[in-house]
Amino acid sequence: MEWDIVIGRERSVGAGWAFAVEVSCDGRSCEHNVLLSWVDYDYWCGGASSPADVVRHAILTALQAKTPTQFGERFDCSTLRRCCPGFDDAMRLRLGRCPAAHEPGTWTEQPLRKAG
């Protein structure tokens, strides 16, 4: 199954951004108003990707998760982490960052060894 995710207009709101998003698959489509907070943006990509790319990856990650995900007409990207186990790790990997060492998951950070 291949999803087409079109990120429309971006607006600054409060402590983040709002996007008009259209998600299509198999000839069916639906529109959503998606919020992304500065905190989630920084956590998932650290400024290395555009906010629109983070939203696209968040939706795609949730759609590809083994847990069925229902998107409302309006939702915040932070709600996806609560319904998709491993969401944060998957997002950080998709966006080129290693998962955080304090999060449960398959990746663990090795401490740096002191030279000498």
Q: What is the pLDDT of residues 25-47, one digit of tens each?
A: 888 898 999 999 999 999 999 88
Could you tell me the two tokens for 43?
């956590």
CA–centroid distance for 68 within its chain: 16
Domain ranges of the chain: 4-94
Give the pLDDT confidence of 84-106 residue by residue, as tens digits.
888 998 998 888 876 654 444 44
pTM: 0.80
Segment 14-28, tens digit of pLDDT: 999 999 999 988 888
